Structure 1
Amino acid sequence: MGSSVETLEFQAETRQLLRLVIHSIYSNKDIFLRELISNASDALDKLRLESLTDSSLVDIDTTGLHIALEVDKDARTLTVRDNGIGMTRDDLVELIGTIAKSGTAGLLEKIKESKDAATAESLIGQFGVGFYSAFMVADKVTLRTRRAGTDSGTEWESDGEGSYTVQTVDNLPVGTSVTLHLKPADSEDGLADYLSESKIRQIVKQYSDFIRWPVRMATERTDAEGETTHEVDTLNSMKALWARPRAEVTEDEYNEFYQQISHDWLAPAETIHMRAEGTFEYEALLFIPSQAPFDLFSRETRRGVQLYVKRVFIMDDCEALMPDYLRFVKGVVDAHDLSLNVSREILQHDRQIRGVRRRLVKKVLGALKTMQAKDAERYAKVWAQFGRALKEGLVEDTDNTEALLELVSAASTHDPEKTTTLREYVERMKDGQEAIYYLTGETRAMVENSPHMEAFAAKGYEVLILTDPVDEVWVDRVPAFDGHRLQSVAKGQVDLDASADGDQDTDAEKAQREQDFAALLPWLTTTLSEQVKQVRLSSRLTTSAACIVGDAHDVTPTLEKMYRAMGQQLPTVKRILELNPAHPLITALRTAHDNHADDPALAEIAELVYGSALLAEGGDLPDPARFTRLLTDRLTHTL
């Protein structure tokens, strides 16, 4: 037997806020069921906890706690029922009858100023009004509840407009039921058929699969003979592996879960299971895949880390939890102290989330470092798949530069069959060698055959061979490793004699060379002034006649092309032409210039020397037709 119905008016500001929630805030209407199941799960958690500490509740049996979904197609109702802690009348008025009673006016003002649905949703999320998302799909909501340890229950009902009713109801079971009187399905309004078993299953699977309590629903099955049977199915798996101690989870369970969330048929290369306790508690279960997805370097690729709050799914590819260069990492992070309605915008500015991100990144990089030390073969395979992405971190993540440099694995002239780490390179450095030498290029063959490599090969210096596009960027951003600067063999002055083994040129010999070429070098600098800013003698060439180098801080031609391809206009960078003073062509050119400085053919030969050097490094000729004509004429004159 119940009491008379009491009708209460929503406050004006609360009514405005409710209207926003119903009509304009949530873009995904499916989340109403997530919100109601989450509320029910909280009620079950509270009952289990209070039954352990409240003497008046010790007789309550908590072994059958569950959430039930009930569909009545004739009445067009969907009910979410739990046998949890329940609410008193005062609880109802406090928790549901009044929305965001503190700060509502300020919130409304911010929403009006935002004029943006995404921003509005993020603001709403801070006030915990998810229950009212039910009105997106329902014309009326009836809530019946009875608090554990009390004798009578309460019914709350509203159409989501100006008022709600409250009355006392006898003979209610302990717990809460929320009955939604559903609006008709309407594709234009985004209203699915929420009475459909398949739709309900899909929503529960997506958002509430790992809720610790069973979510059950009565179903009908018709066999081939037309016989109908009724059964109760549990819709969620309840297997939140991340919430279990690692010692209790088998490798098969980890692999199965990874394949479920990643849609990858291979087992992961590494599993990272962690739990953080303290001021901000969370669990994380992360996986480093064995194989890169086909779209790893596509702009549309999605990051792999999902965000849960208390086992309730919130969002895929949570950008706030993992930097872009670790976008290949799959897994889940389950936070204990976030609102279910938390938005991407809130996450990006949340200090605690930034702290979680820092710890996750260090954990992933640490796992890769451990793999590198303990299983070099497995690490080599992982680096081959994800090294290019990891090197993006050397550009983006200055806080972890040292950790990332330790992970870098690169081809080098030391061993054509294996890559090397920077640490291994440093251990092999020659006595007196100060720099880590490298050369970037499109392919290993182009780098190995580059004129810039000749002196280094002749004197036995190891050179890193960097052929990923990102290499052009990070080597300029990272000044040194373990106290040794990174030096391009195609930039700046190179003098290997000072520290090389074997014969060294004396100062007198160097001075004599400079004197021998004193007339040719300035003439060439003037003749080729449109192409180069200087012509000088080289100490890096042994067999080639000439090469083109940049100043120590010049942008490389490849990087210049990359920037231009991205629409960034850069001033043309003139480079330096270096000549091999021992090459027959260069000595013949010097002699010809010394004897016939006014011969117009010398200028054409100068162009051919420059063009040949440009081609040797894989560059593009400014005028291929002219170069071909000059070369043909020269060849003709020699026959």
Structure 2
Amino acid sequence: MTTTTAEMTAESHVFEADVARLLHMMVHSVYSDKDVFLRELISNAADACEKLRYEAIAQPGLLANDPDSRILLTLDADGGKLIVEDNGIGMSRDEMIEALGTIARSGTRAFMERIEANKQGEGAQLIGQFGVGFYSCFMVADRVDVISRRAGAEDAWLWSSDGKGGYSVAPVEVSEAPARGTRITLHLMEDAKSYASRWTVERIVKEQSGHVPVPIKIAEKPGEEATQLTDGTALWTKSKNDITTEEYTDFYRGVSGQYDEPALTVHFRAEGRHEYSALAFVPGSQPFDLFDPDRKGRMKLYVKRVFITDEAELLPRYLRFVRGLVDTSDLPLNVSREMIQESPILTAIRKGVTNRIITAIEKQAESDHDAFLKIWENFGSLIKEGIYEDFERRSQLLALSRFRTTTSGDGYRSLADYVRDAKDGQQSIYYLVGGSLEQLKASPQLEGFRARGIEVLLLTDSVDSFWVTNAPEFEGKSFKSITQGSADLAQFKKQDDEDKPESESAPAEVQAFLDYAKQKLADEVSDVRASDRLIESAVCLVASEQGYDRQLEKILQGAGRLQSGAKPILEINMDHPVVKAIAAKADAPSLRDDAAFLLLDQARVLDGDKPADPRAFAERLARLMEKALQ
């Protein structure tokens, strides 16, 4: 006997994730404004329409007799319901379970994995995450019903859940489902009934979803004729003079998934050999996944207003914080991943968009210093990656960069500022790399530079250890780490001692101790020498002129890229009272032995390390203290 659709029972399923906990997080942590649920549902509906347009390139029959995309919002104040419906691609039973049965599972990602398996339109991927965003509707609804019919399919399905641990999936008569697409019915909570009023819904749509590229209509009651709220006009096709700041902000929030305001908007149309429109935004705050090593750029590629992919490398990696899109008519709609990777058209577009964005940031640096510094504080560490990676724009990015220095106070200085104020005869731009500003300011290596009024860049980002090795010079001055090689400070007078010559030689007994320490510590250091960079501290460690800077060496060792570091150089302040006192004990060899090793361990501690042999360090310190107390 054949079982009819109506006779089939619903299947009960348990969510794959800990829904109760994650939904609590969604409601109480992820979104502070409940209005956002409608924007999320509209974004998903728009993505479904974009998916259909894409699939219809190869299968025009999917559009049937209904080629125009639309989103319909139906209000039911009497029944306490809000219905969001689209005529997009729709979902099959398995797609429903896959997309809606797991928190944070991206239906879009699965869609594109299927396209990749079919080798058609490879690499396309939509921003919409039919997972976490969809579940925001449980902030306002105590039950959600999703009826969906996939384009070209003969069956339809109902997904239903109260968001408290499980859901059901059941077939429905096709007469109760959209001809294609998805209908989401929200059974509103008592304190959320206002979302069934036209005034509330229209306000949210115009504030948050006014520029999605699909027309949105609204019906005030089920079965009533709908009126148009938005026309689906792509914002980027309009003239800049016809777009308000509020409209740009609304579009930015939709394309970025953030709720701040853009720090910079770049909107232009390129004409000539290649024609394309670009609309890009520098966010006003750091995206939460900014430093995720697997995170890719967030620039969408459209061809003739049809979304293609957000995996095309439309910007270099160091500009991955930029959000936006590029729309071109110079590519075919069925562009493949291989064509995207090899296309000279996209190479030209990438170059043009990159140049325009960097130029816009430069202009803001000149015209609005405070606004630019906010961009730099949020994304400066990424821009500096470009100094390392982008040879073509290296000089441009160096000029754009800002730094904390020994003379900047709480502000920032540019390299142009540094060069302008450099000492006569100074051939280098000096820098010091470390983990924090406080640590760097306390470094003993700074003492000689500070005493002579020589400015030093204080670099605290991980990338700083790398770009300085790839930036040979700026305006004729090379970059030099103050923890590497000799400091060459003898040519500069100390600020408080301008009229006195630098001491040319140390007392004989101090020089004898230095020679003694060099012999005693030969297994630990490559050299022991007098320091012209120390003023207050007794000792410090520096790297040799060849090889790596001290901080870069530590980073490479920590990453497993360097098995062992080179032996450092121990520099001793020949004028330090402790060094002179030790040197005077020429008749106490055991004390001099302990003192030499203790000075080395002191230098290690000042360098952010620990004594090489903590037990031996403690024993030496105890012996020295015992002699001092006798």
Q: Which residue of 1 aligns with 2:481?
A: 488
Mapped contact 1:548–1:578 kept (Cα < 8 A): yes
d(CA) in 2 for partners of 1:271, 1:260: 14
C-alpha root-mean-square deviation of aligned residues, in Å?
A: 4.0
5 Å-filtered alignment, 1:178-189, equals 181-184=152-155
**CA deviation string 1:422-454 (max 9, x = no partner):** 111111112222211111122222211211111
d(CA) in 1 for partners of 2:414, 2:71: 60
Residue 607 of structure 2 corresponds to residue 636 of structure 1: no
Mapped contact 2:510–2:579 kept (Cα < 8 A): no
> Residue 432 of structure 1: which of 413, 425, 433 is its match?
425
5 Å-filtered alignment, 1:53-452, equals 67=68, 124-125=120-121, 181-184=152-155, 196=178, 199-200=181-182, 223=221, 229-231=223-225, 237-316=231-310, 318-452=311-445
d(CA) in 1 for partners of 2:71, 2:452: 81
| Structure with bigger gyration radius | 1
Mapped contact 2:87–2:181 kept (Cα < 8 A): no
d(CA) in 2 for partners of 1:414, 1:561: 27
**CA deviation string 1:83-108 (max 9, x = no partner):** xxxxxxxxxxxxxxxxxxxxxxxxxx
Cα gap change, 1:443/1:358 in structure 2, threshold over 3 Å: closer, same or farther? Answer: same
**CA deviation string 1:109-151 (max 9, x = no partner):** xxxxxxx9877756x449xxxxxxxxxxxxxxxxxxxxxxxxx
d(CA) in 1 for partners of 2:357, 2:331: 23
TM-score (norm 2): 0.67
Shift of 1:505: 4.0
Letter in structure 2 aligned against 1:484? K
d(CA) in 1 for partners of 2:287, 2:304: 29
Report which stretch shifted further, 234-243 or 548-557. Answer: 234-243
Residue 576 of structure 2 corresponds to residue 583 of structure 1: yes
Residue 537 of structure 2 corresponds to residue 536 of structure 1: no
Letter in structure 1 aligned against 2:351? R
Q: Which residue of 1 aligns with 2:54?
A: 35
Cα gap change, 1:312/1:592 in structure 2, threshold over 3 Å: closer, same or farther? Answer: same
Q: Which residue of 1 aligns with 2:97?
A: none
Q: Which residue of 2 aligns with 1:614?
A: 604
Secondary structure of 1:439's partner? strand
Secondary structure of 2:359's partner? helix
Shift of 1:369: 0.9
Q: Which residue of 1 aligns with 2:493?
A: 500
Mapped contact 1:276–1:283 kept (Cα < 8 A): yes
**CA deviation string 1:235-261 (max 9, x = no partner):** 974221211121121111111111111
Cα gap change, 1:197/1:326 in structure 2, threshold over 3 Å: closer, same or farther? Answer: farther
Shift of 1:395: 1.8
Between the two proteins, what is the percent identity of the paired residues?
Answer: 32
Letter in structure 1 aligned against 2:601? G
Mapped contact 1:472–1:558 kept (Cα < 8 A): yes
Q: Which residue of 1 aligns with 2:468?
A: 475
Cα gap change, 1:276/1:451 in structure 2, threshold over 3 Å: closer, same or farther? Answer: same
**CA deviation string 1:170-193 (max 9, x = no partner):** xxxxxxxxx965254699xxxx99
> Residue 447 of structure 2: which of 438, 451, 454 is its match?
454
Mapped contact 1:393–1:401 kept (Cα < 8 A): yes
Letter in structure 2 aligned against 1:33? L
Shift of 1:37: 6.4
d(CA) in 1 for partners of 2:242, 2:280: 17
Q: Which residue of 2 aligns with 1:545?
A: 538
Letter in structure 2 aligned against 1:623? D
Shift of 1:415: 3.0
Mapped contact 1:532–1:574 kept (Cα < 8 A): yes
Cα gap change, 1:427/1:186 in structure 2, threshold over 3 Å: closer, same or farther? Answer: same
Cα gap change, 1:222/1:260 in structure 2, threshold over 3 Å: closer, same or farther? Answer: closer
Mapped contact 1:287–1:331 kept (Cα < 8 A): yes
Secondary structure of 1:461's partner? coil
Shift of 1:405: 0.7
**CA deviation string 1:301-335 (max 9, x = no partner):** 3422111111111223x341112211111111111
Mapped contact 1:66–1:216 kept (Cα < 8 A): no
Mapped contact 2:121–2:337 kept (Cα < 8 A): no
Mapped contact 2:302–2:325 kept (Cα < 8 A): yes
d(CA) in 2 for partners of 1:474, 1:411: 16
Letter in structure 1 aligned against 2:256? S
Mapped contact 1:473–1:559 kept (Cα < 8 A): yes
d(CA) in 1 for partners of 2:562, 2:549: 15
Secondary structure of 1:627's partner? helix
Secondary structure of 1:267's partner? coil
Mapped contact 1:407–1:421 kept (Cα < 8 A): yes
d(CA) in 1 for partners of 2:448, 2:87: 80
Mapped contact 2:434–2:440 kept (Cα < 8 A): yes
Q: Which residue of 2 aligns with 1:143?
A: none
Q: Which residue of 2 aligns with 1:136?
A: none
Shift of 1:458: 1.1
d(CA) in 2 for partners of 1:407, 1:32: 40
Q: Which residue of 1 aligns with 2:547?
A: 554
Letter in structure 1 aligned against 2:591? A
TM-score (norm 1): 0.66
d(CA) in 2 for partners of 1:435, 1:638: 44
Report which stretch shifted further, 477-486 or 520-529. Answer: 520-529
Gaps of 5+ in 2: 1-46, 61-65, 73-85, 89-112, 123-149, 159-170, 185-210
Mapped contact 2:71–2:215 kept (Cα < 8 A): no
Residue 615 of structure 2 corresponds to residue 625 of structure 1: yes
**CA deviation string 1:156-212 (max 9, x = no partner):** xxxxxxxxxxxxxxxxxxxxxxx965254699xxxx99954794589xxxxxx866x
Letter in structure 2 aligned against 1:622? A
Shift of 1:407: 1.6
Mapped contact 1:307–1:334 kept (Cα < 8 A): yes
Shift of 1:514: 8.6
**CA deviation string 1:356-375 (max 9, x = no partner):** 11221111111111111111
d(CA) in 1 for partners of 2:152, 2:490: 87
d(CA) in 1 for partners of 2:50, 2:283: 30
Q: Which residue of 1 aligns with 2:6?
A: none
Shift of 1:517: 5.2
Letter in structure 1 aligned against 2:451? A
Secondary structure of 1:425's partner? helix
Letter in structure 1 aligned against 2:225? E
d(CA) in 1 for partners of 2:525, 2:256: 52
Gaps of 5+ in 1: 1-27, 42-64, 72-77, 81-115, 127-178, 203-208
d(CA) in 2 for partners of 1:235, 1:482: 56
Secondary structure of 1:231's partner? coil
Mapped contact 1:494–1:540 kept (Cα < 8 A): yes
Mapped contact 1:608–1:631 kept (Cα < 8 A): yes
d(CA) in 2 for partners of 1:534, 1:438: 23
